[in-house]
């Protein structure tokens, strides 16, 4: 990268053509006329040598002046180096895997739709540590906070509906478990994205109490209620192995989910299909941006000596030669 630090001095370069025009006009004004009876001898004169002798000192002086002006403008070369520093955030995905997540108001069902959207959410993050907690009647750590997104996505793919003996919805236990994983984090921002389609009916910890604990550790909770408004088809396996679908009412405790979000500075969302669920994750991703700091370093090399020295020498030598070797006599 080459540039002039004091580029305003370059305006003075206009003096070079001005001086050249002045010199040319002065030469024509002072020129005389000679008559020759024959041009035979004139053709034998070394015209090129005569041109250098007459005009050389002035041309050298003009070049020297141009170089001195460019030296005043401080020509520099520099190499720019940028360093990027990212300050990622810690995100804990908290996913309901109770039996109600088998409802097919989302395609192919609520759980698979939630997993698919979470996969895209993970792919859209950079430099963030993301973990995964699943819950039903109990809460389980599926993946600790990590930046290895491939491992995280693989563990997310393995998530399935809980066995019947563990069925239930322990929202308070899930929040407490996620808080325990985030509380010692040194990240600038710590968030939890909790998705559930039911109401708290299991566990020993009250969800609002757990939310207060999360807030004490500066953990923000975004809550998502997943389920179609009204009734949704739910698959039931008959004794003969056949699957029968029955309409069941949505039992999302929206008041509780709103309270949890409000207590921690987060936000509550309602997803009624896979499209709205995807838009919710996109909105959360947009609100929780990773901070990227750019530090720019430029190493400068001063080049003015390469212009100053030859410029000074040309001006000095042109003056000296004009007064001695190629001095013009009147």
Taking 70 as the threshold, does the pLDDT of residue 215 lie above it? yes
Per-residue pLDDT at 115: 97
Type and span of the H or E element at 87 = strand 75-87
Per-residue pLDDT band for 321 (boundaries 50, 70, 90) equals: confident
pLDDT in tens, 105-152: 999 999 999 999 999 999 999 889 999 999 999 999 999 999 999 999
Taking 90 as the threshold, does the pLDDT of residue 12 lie above it? no
Residue 110 CA to residue 104 CA, distance in Å, equals 6
Taking 60 as the threshold, does the pLDDT of residue 4 lie above it? yes
Residue 297 CA to residue 299 CA, distance in Å, equals 7
260 vs 69 pLDDT, higher one:
260
CB 57 within 8 A of CB 324: no
Q: Are strands 129-135 and 139-146 parallel, antiparallel or unpaired?
A: antiparallel
Residue with tokens 């020759």: 36
Per-residue pLDDT at 319: 73
CB 146 within 8 A of CB 131: yes
Look up the pTM and report it. Answer: 0.66
27 vs 185 pLDDT, higher one:
185
Cis peptide before 108 (omega within 30 of 0): yes
pLDDT in tens, 151-164: 999 999 999 999 98
Which tokens sit at 205? 């910890």
Residue 161 CA to residue 134 CA, distance in Å, equals 10
Taking 70 as the threshold, does the pLDDT of residue 267 lie above it? yes
Half-sphere exposure of 4 (CA within 13 A, CB side): 14
Residue 145 CA to residue 128 CA, distance in Å, equals 9
CB 79 within 8 A of CB 298: yes
Residue partners of 140: CB distance under 8 A and separation at least 6: 133, 134, 177
pLDDT in tens, 270-315: 999 999 999 999 999 988 876 656 566 667 788 888 888 888 888 8
Per-residue pLDDT at 2: 75
| Helices vs strands, H then E, count in the chain | 9, 11
CA-based angle 84:90:93, to the nearest 5? 135
Core vs surface per residue 120-133: b (16+ CB within 10 A) or e: ebbeebeebbbbbb
Domains of the chain with bracketed CATH: 2-30+40-80+299-323 (no CATH), 89-289 (3.40.50.410)
State mean pLDDT over 164-193: 94
pLDDT over 90, % of the chain: 51
pLDDT in tens, 46-78: 455 555 556 677 788 888 888 889 888 888 887
Taking 80 as the threshold, does the pLDDT of residue 222 lie above it? yes
């Amino acid at each position: 990268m080459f540039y002039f630090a004091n580029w305003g001095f370059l305006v003075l370069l206009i003096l070079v053509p001005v001086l050249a025009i002045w010199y040319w006009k002065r030469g024509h004004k002072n020129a005389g006329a000679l008559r020759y009876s024959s041009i035979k001898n004139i053709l034998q004169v070394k015209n090129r040598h005569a041109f250098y002798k007459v005009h050389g000192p002035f041309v050298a002086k003009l070049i020297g002046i141009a170089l001195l002006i460019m030296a005043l403008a401080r020509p520099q070369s520099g190499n720019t180096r940028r360093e990027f520093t990212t300050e990622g955030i810690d995100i804990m995905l908290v996913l309901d895997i109770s039996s109600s997540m088998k409802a097919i108001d989302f395609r192919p069902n609520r759980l698979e739709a939630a997993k698919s959207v979470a996969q895209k959410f993970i792919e859209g993050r950079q430099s963030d540590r993301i973990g995964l907690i699943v819950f039903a009647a109990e809460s389980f750590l599926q993946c600790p906070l990590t930046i290895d997104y491939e491992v995280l996505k693989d563990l997310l793919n393995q998530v399935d509906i809980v066995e019947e003996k563990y069925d239930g919805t322990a929202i308070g236990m899930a929040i407490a478990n996620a808080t325990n994983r985030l509380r010692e984090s040194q990240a600038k921002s710590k968030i939890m994205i909790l998705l559930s389609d039911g109401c708290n009916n299991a566990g020993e910890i009250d969800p609002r109490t757990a939310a207060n604990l999360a807030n004490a550790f500066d953990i923000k909770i975004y809550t998502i209620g997943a389920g179609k408004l009204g009734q949704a088809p739910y698959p039931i396996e008959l004794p003969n192995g056949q699957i029968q679908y029955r309409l069941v009412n949505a039992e999302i405790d929206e008041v509780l989910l709103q309270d949890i979000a409000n207590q921690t500075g987060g936000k509550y969302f309602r997803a009624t299909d896979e499209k709205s669920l995807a838009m919710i994750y996109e909105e959360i991703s947009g609100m929780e941006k990773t901070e990227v700091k750019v530090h720019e370093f430029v190493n400068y090399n001063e080049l003015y000596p390469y212009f100053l020295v030859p410029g000074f020498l040309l001006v000095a030598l042109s003056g000296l030669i004009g007064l001695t070797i190629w001095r013009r006599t009147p």
